[in-house]
Structures are given as C-alpha cells and as structure tokens.
Amino acid sequence: MAILAISRQVGSYGDVIAAMVARNLGLELIGRDRVHELAQNCDPEYKDACSAYESEHGPGVWERIFYDRPVYTSLFEALTFEEAARGNVVMVGRGSQITLAGVPGVFKVRIVAPFGTRIRRVMERYGFSESEADDFVQRYDQERENLVRFIFHKDPHDWSLYDITINTDNYKASSAAAVVMNALDKMEKPDDYGQNKDYLTNMGTAKRIEIIMRTRLSSSAIRNVNIAVASGGIVTITGRVLDKNDKEEIERLVLQYPGITKVQNEIKFADLSYGIYS
C-alpha cells in the first residue's frame, strides 16, 4: 500500500510529476480538483463559499476559503486522513505532508525549482509576460507560505517535513518522476499496514467530530479541547473549558456521531476566578 504526499512550488512541474507517478504506479491521484469535489459533496456551506469565488482565477482563491472559517481546515484534514486510509494514493498539496506527518509508510515529497526557472515555465504555460509571471509566482508563493504558517504553524521550507526534495531545474518531469518512484521503492515499509489504516481512519473520524464542534460551538469553547478516537468507536475528550455547560455539550455532540460507542470525557473545568481546574 503506497501513500505519497507531494508538496510543490508553482512552476516546478510538481503537478505533472505527481500525475506521472500515479499513472506509472497505478495509484489514484488526489489533486486539488478531487479534494475540492469531495469537500463540496460533504459540506453545503463549503460549496456556497466556493461559488462566491468561482469567477476568480490565480492564487489566493482556495487559500482564502481556508482563512474564512477554521472548520474548513478540519474538513480538509478529515478528507486527507480518509483518502490516505484507502491506500495507493498520491495526494497533492492542501498541507497533506503536514497532516500525515509521523504516519509510517507515508512518503513525503517536495518539488522545487529556482525562481527564474519557474517564471519562464509559467510564461510558457499561461502566455504571461515576464512581469505578469513574476507577479503570479511571487503572489502564489507568498499566499501558500502564509497558509501553511497560519493554519498548520509550520514552515513549508523546513526540510524535516519531507523524505525527499527534488530541484527540477535540471530535470525533465519524467526524470524527476523516476527519481520519486525509485526513492519510494527504497523506503522502509511499515510492518503492519492494517494498523496504519486503522490509525488513519480513526484520525479521520476525530476530524469529522471536530468539524461538528467547530460548527455548533464557539471557537473559545473548543480552543483547548482535543478529540482522540480508538478502534471500536471509543472517544476520549481531553483539554479544558471555561464553562461546565460546554463540557456537557461537547460530550453530547460526540455521542451523536455515527459509530461512537463510548465517550471518556476527561475535560477539566477552568475556574479562572480561583485559578484552578476541577
């Protein structure tokens, strides 16, 4: 079972490389359009938000949706875990390399190229002038970097997020794809993919519950609350709240989620007037 998470700079051939790897290895490509379609199908409000931007083009459209409502971050993370749990996928962008960090067997790739090279490629692809391509690449880079820093609190340039980084300045897309496939083949594989699938499925469920909480409760009520799901539909809730009613409401919402059999509510009540937890 192969799971690849590919992050790329605009103009680096990243999307082309991801498609080649998926096709050559018989994997499913989960790109921006596919994730966008999944999000629309499971969240009517998200679909409405997308419609508001449908006349816009270029960088910033999808990033702005992330910024508008934190619940969409949980939605994309849930979809990432759920799609990864199916296995044999190539996931492109949407912070998948961060969402799936630490999961054994996930191969995380970063595709880059020098700024000048990317400008030239964008000019060729879109028919832009040099100044238009320069502006496009700069804005795209800045908005994607801001997104990763703001939503995931990570630096996208941090090498430790990736198993391999490829500079395509001196590579054709096909050659870079061959490097990715060779590196994937050499990577150590998990002993038990079944445990991996269970973990990813449970993380997806936790994020689905988080979506409900973010939709029904205020940000202040759930800011310090964490959801963990174990096999068998057992949920453990930890963290702290300021209002005891929030603790009870969170448990009620969790119990309403399909397949949940038991809730261990370990939330502490923070009494700020005395500076203690109960």
pLDDT, tens digit (0-9, with 9 covering 90-100), for 115-160: 999 999 999 989 999 999 999 999 888 878 877 787 778 888 888 9
Query: Which pLDDT value is given to residue 56?
Result: 41
Pick the CATH number of 217-277 from 3.10.100.10, 3.50.50.60, 3.30.1340.30, 2.60.40.640: 3.30.1340.30
Query: Which pLDDT value is given to residue 243?
Result: 75
CATH of domain 3-186: 3.40.50.300
Query: Which pLDDT value is given to residue 89?
Result: 92
Domain boundaries, the chain: 3-186, 217-277
DSSP per position, the chain: --EEEEEE-TTTTHHHHHHHHHHHHTPEEE-HHHHHHHHHHH-HHHHHHHHHHTT--STTHHHHHHHH-HHHHHHHHHHHHHHHHH-SEEEESTTHHHHTTT-TTEEEEEEE--HHHHHHHHHHHH---HHHHHHHHHHHHHHHHHHIIIII---TT-GGG-SEEEEGGG--HHHHHHHHHHHHHHSPPPS-HHHHHHHHHHHHHHHHHHHHHHHHS-HHHHTTEEEEEETTTEEEEEEEES-HHHHHHHHHHHHHSTT--EEEE-PEEEETTTTEE-
Query: Which pLDDT value is given to residue 17?
Result: 94
pTM here is 0.78
- Parts of the chain with a pLDDT under 50: 49, 51-59, 273-274, 276-278
